[in-house]
Amino acid sequence: MHKILEFQAVVLAAGRGSRMPDVGGTVSKCLLPVGPYPVLWYSLNMLEKFGFQETMLVVLDEDKSNIINALEKCPLKIKYDLIVIPSEEDWGTANSLKHVSSKVNTDLIVVSGDLITNINLNDVLNLYRKHDAALATLFFNNGPEEWIELPGLKTKAKPDRDLVCIDKETERLVFLASASDFEENVTIPRLLIKKFNSISMYSRLLDAHVYVMKKWVVNYVVDTDKFTSVKGELIPHIVKKQLAKPKNQVEKKGTSEKNVDITKDIFDYAVEQGYESKIRKMSAYNDHTLGSKGVYYNDTLRCYAHIPDKNTFGIRVNTLSALYLSNSKILSKWQEITGTELLERIHPNSEVSTKQIDENCTVGEKSCISEKTSLKSTFIGSNCTIENKVRLTNCILMNNVTGINQIWKKFPFFDEIPHPEFILL
């Protein structure tokens, strides 16, 4: 396995699961079970699989001990530096990025702690390397979202959708905005249409929240102190700035109130340190075929988007529907997602007396399953107890769920179940 040394990694796992109210009780979103392991394990395993030896891991202060205990029971070789943020404060992802900035010494890959995918991460890293980009992103184009009718109260909340424009010829990410920013008509800058010859607009891509960025981007975030969200504010800002040109000193002074230098803009951070620009001028390479403009249209900022094949599996476990879908598919895609074989679906320290348990079930450590119990497509955490003559289908039990007996047949819907640690789907 090739070791990745040119990038540092940070996994953001301090989300509060606002789209998943009352799911799992006090269990934090990043520790919700998907198959035999918590959600967070899959992001860390992905980095390990592609050569990362260590990563920063941003978590809420109140979740630190639970995360340490959970990850100690998972098969991981990658070293993780736990960095806590205050639980009582409402920090955005850009605030978390500023919090770890003093530890960032190289270019950075930012990964969401709720991502499960079988993507070849090298495809994103190589796109970034090939074009010496300021930013490279990952989107999944899996077609229409699978619709699951979930029990419980219906919600009127609509899923967030992004409008994403990508130049077919160059893979440049040239436009990014939330669909909610527009009421009826979408306005695309004329310069963008003039500059790029073949633009594809997408409205159903899934943003994987995987971002590869220059170190100077982190410095820019810290110094400007105007961003709260990486996905909602920082990334669209950098994408938009591709169309702009650096201001000269006269223009900067002219826009200042007292004819003094104003605060540095993004181009003051995007300074090439070596011979990159000279090499590009000497090279015969060009990223586009039409027009007389130089390579990359002489742009200082360049953003790219990688969209893998539609058969690629990618999901972010940030809704109840996504939690259900990820659990329903994880075992069938285990090897291609994790790069390993799942040797033990039933933990050796568990006690399973029933023979009516199918191959789509997992049982955690020190759980007790009584005889005459039927389990189908059910994931059972650690220290759980299921009594005689219970039938469970398409269920998820968190850790420490006990007293599951025939009386549970009275609770057919999720929102009526006495214990939120038990998810019946």
Q: Could you read off the pLDDT of 268-307 as tens digits, one per residue?
A: 998 877 777 777 777 767 777 766 677 787 888 999 999 9
Q: Across-strand partners of 262?
A: none
The beta strands (E) that lie in 39-130 are given as 54-60, 79-85, 107-112, 115-117
Higher per-residue pLDDT: 413 or 181: 181
| H/E run at residue 45 | helix 39-49
| Mean pLDDT value across residues 196-202 | 88
Whole-number Å distance between alpha carbons of 85 and 99: 8
Higher per-residue pLDDT: 389 or 11: 11
Say what the pLDDT of residue 61 is.
92
Residue 255 has pLDDT above 70, yes or no: no
Say what the pLDDT of residue 148 is.
55
- The residues, any chain, with a CB within 8 Å of residue 328's CB and separated by 6 or more, are 377, 394
Say what the pLDDT of residue 367 is.
93
Say what the pLDDT of residue 413 is.
33
Residue 145 has pLDDT above 70, yes or no: no
Whole-number Å distance between alpha carbons of 6 and 114: 24
Q: Are 192 and 174 in contact (CB under 8 A)?
A: yes
Judge residue 186's burial from the number of C-beta atoms within 10 Å of its C-beta, 0-12 exposed, 13-18 middle, 19 or more buried. middle
Band (pLDDT 50/70/90 cuts) for residue 173 is: very high
Pairing of strands 206-213, 107-112: antiparallel
| Mean pLDDT value across residues 403-423 | 48
Say what the pLDDT of residue 258 is.
44
Higher per-residue pLDDT: 194 or 380: 380
Say what the pLDDT of residue 281 is.
73
CA dihedral 7, 13, 18, 19 (to 10 degrees): 70
Q: Are 13 and 58 in contact (CB under 8 A)?
A: yes
For the chain, the average pLDDT equals 84
The SS3 of residue 159 is coil
Higher per-residue pLDDT: 377 or 145: 377
Higher per-residue pLDDT: 19 or 38: 38
Comparing 255-259, 352-356, 416-420, the range with the smallest average pLDDT is 416-420
| Mean pLDDT value across residues 243-250 | 77
| Mean pLDDT value across residues 154-173 | 80
Say what the pLDDT of residue 152 is.
55
Q: Are 283 and 296 in contact (CB under 8 A)?
A: no
Say what the pLDDT of residue 236 is.
95
Q: Which amino acid is at 118?
A: N
Closest CA to 56 of 102, 119, 124, 88: 102
Say what the pLDDT of residue 158 is.
61
Whole-number Å distance between alpha carbons of 165 and 167: 7
Band (pLDDT 50/70/90 cuts) for residue 196 is: confident
Comparing 68-82, 182-196, 235-249, the range with the smallest average pLDDT is 182-196
CA quadruple 212, 36, 160, 141: dihedral sign? positive
| Mean pLDDT value across residues 192-201 | 86
End-to-end CA distance of the chain: 39
| H/E run at residue 206 | strand 206-213
Q: Enter the DSSP assignment of 395.
A: E
| Mean pLDDT value across residues 114-140 | 95
Band (pLDDT 50/70/90 cuts) for residue 410 is: very low
- The set of long-range contacts for 221-225, using a CB threshold of 8 Å and a minimum separation of 24, is 221/94, 221/97, 221/98, 221/101, 222/98, 222/101, 223/264, 223/269, 224/263, 225/98
